[in-house]
Chain A
Amino acid sequence: MKPVRFDYIRAGTLAEAHAALTTGGDDARIIAGGQSLVPMLSMRMARPTVLVDIMHLPELAKIEVKRNVIRVGAGVRQAALLAWPELAERQPLLAAALPWVGHAQIRSRGTVCGSIAHADPSAEIPLALLVLKGAVELSSQRNRRRVVAEEFFTGLMSTARKDDELIEAIEIPCSTAGHGYAFNEFARRHGDFAIVACAAIARKDGVRLAIGGVADCPIARDFPNIDGDALDDALDYFAADLEARDDLHATADYRRALVRRLGRATIEEARRCRA
């Protein structure tokens, strides 16, 4: 349970962080809060030769609102976003999702963008980013680019980020008047990894539901305004398409049942919030 040896670079500027990633290639990793990476290091599931600490770059520790988008920098800790006074008003779904991220003792160090980079299939922040159609700002020594959430999460803990890129910020659209938002999850104990997590947006003309904890990465689907048996059937198909697997925590059947029940409850809650 001790990490392999690595060099540690405390980046003093963003350019230094970029340079270290360019030189290090896939042997270099960014460390921010370290709440996902350090356990991976200790269990030797990650064996980088260089760690680049980006937590001493004040320009990355900002939460900004521009043109109806919340921009959360790579240095913003989950606890800081949760404590942001404008959060519930700007984006109620994010405000509802964040308290489910780990425990308070984890959120105090863990960063918002770190959770996006780690891309755990049951993580709440990637799920929120996907359902809200947010985006990820990537930068490297070569270029900068913006990748929408739908294209960013590519599989089990894998993303569209290239080895020399770092996540500089994520962009989360602010709430829209007349839309209802809801987030729910089920775990054996609050703060544990979600067995199933659901996020829903209810619009006038339909509903968007995203599910975490079942497939290799969060998956969203848009439904027209249906109810009753039609909604149950649609959720049934969605649950089947997620290719749930049996594991230590739950059977595939159990997960599908949760998608149907908790998915429906989350949609209904979002619709009530819209009213």
Chain B
Amino acid sequence: MPRLTADARHRVRFELNGRAVEADAEPRMLLTDFLRYELGMTGTHVGCEHGVCGACTVQIDGVPARACLTLAVQADGAKIRTVEGLAPAPGRLSVLQEAFRRHHALQCGFCTAGILMSLDYYLRHRPHPDEAKLREYLGGHLCRCTGYAPILAAAIDAAEKLREAPANA
């Protein structure tokens, strides 16, 4: 039974956006801080830090989850995907990201990374999303700039483009 002591830093290893990564964390370190401060991956934002705002949403073992409600040590051995893993190549945006740009689905961008990680999962599993379900799903995120309408429009547009050419996700 591994016991990680409170006052020491312990090695945490997981797969991040398809690459093996490792760094040290105290047991109390949240996954948000581990990603940002230990791994330098600052695309994941920290908003409310108690699970309400959705800004820190990442994908853990393939499903969207709050990085601020996960300890780094709990993520040991997991597969994590963050906003940095969405673009298919440097300088290119994913279909969903492109739709966000086209529809002005972000202004300050603080909430965007989390919303992208949720919608990326949702559109993969529901290629024909209806607007009511999308609204409910977006209820897990707070955006104080857009009023959500352009985000919905971007999601619906992206779903359509993904149905035409799913390989471009």
List chain A positions with a Cβ less than 8 A from chain B. Answer: 1-13, 16, 20, 31, 34-35, 38-39, 41-43, 49, 51, 53, 55, 79, 102-106, 108-109, 189-191
Contact = CB atoms under 8 A, between A and B. Distances in A.
Given A105-B118, A106-B140, A34 B71 contact: yes
A103 B63 contact: no
Nearest to B6: A5
Contacts, number: 108
A5 B2 CA distance: 17
Nearest to B5: A7
Contacts of B123: none
Contact of A8 (B63, B69, B71): B71
Contact of A103 (B4, B73, B140): B140
B1 A1 contact: no
A128 B27 CA distance: 34
Contacts of B49: 1, 42
B30 to A, nearest CB: 7
Contacts of B5: 7
A55 B65 CA distance: 16
Contacts of A38: 30, 51, 68-71
Contacts of B64: 104-105, 108
A189 B65 CA distance: 19
B159 to A, nearest CB: 17
A105 B117 CA distance: 10
Specify which of B57, B140, B141 lies most central, judged by the most chain A CB atoms within 10 Å of its CB: B140
A215 B118 CA distance: 34
A179 B28 CA distance: 47
B19 interface: no
A108 B65 contact: yes
A102 B64 CA distance: 13
B137 A104 contact: yes
Nearest to B70: A34
Nearest to B25: A8
A79 B7 CA distance: 34
B73 A105 contact: no
A43 B30 CA distance: 13
A55 to B, nearest CB: 7
B26 interface: yes
B4 A8 contact: yes
Interface of B: 1-7, 26-28, 30, 33, 49-51, 54, 57, 60, 63-66, 68-71, 73-74, 76, 118, 136-137, 139-141
B1 A105 contact: no
B98 to A, nearest CB: 23
B71 A109 contact: no
8 closest cross-chain pairs (CB), A and B: A103-B140, A8-B27, A5-B6, A39-B50, A108-B63, A3-B28, A105-B140, A8-B4
A2 B28 CA distance: 8
B73 A8 contact: yes
A100 to B, nearest CB: 11
B65 to A, nearest CB: 5
A11 B69 CA distance: 20
A47 to B, nearest CB: 11
20 contacts: A2-B33, A5-B27, A7-B5, A8-B4, A8-B73, A10-B76, A12-B1, A13-B1, A34-B71, A35-B51, A35-B66, A38-B69, A39-B50, A39-B69, A42-B50, A55-B74, A103-B137, A105-B54, A105-B65, A106-B140
Contacts of A39: 50-51, 69
A42 B68 CA distance: 9
A6 B73 CA distance: 12
Contacts of B57: 105
Given A12-B1, A34-B69, A38-B71, A6 B63 contact: no
Contacts of A53: 73-74
A210 B71 CA distance: 35
B28 A5 contact: yes
Contacts of A102: 140
A15 B108 CA distance: 50
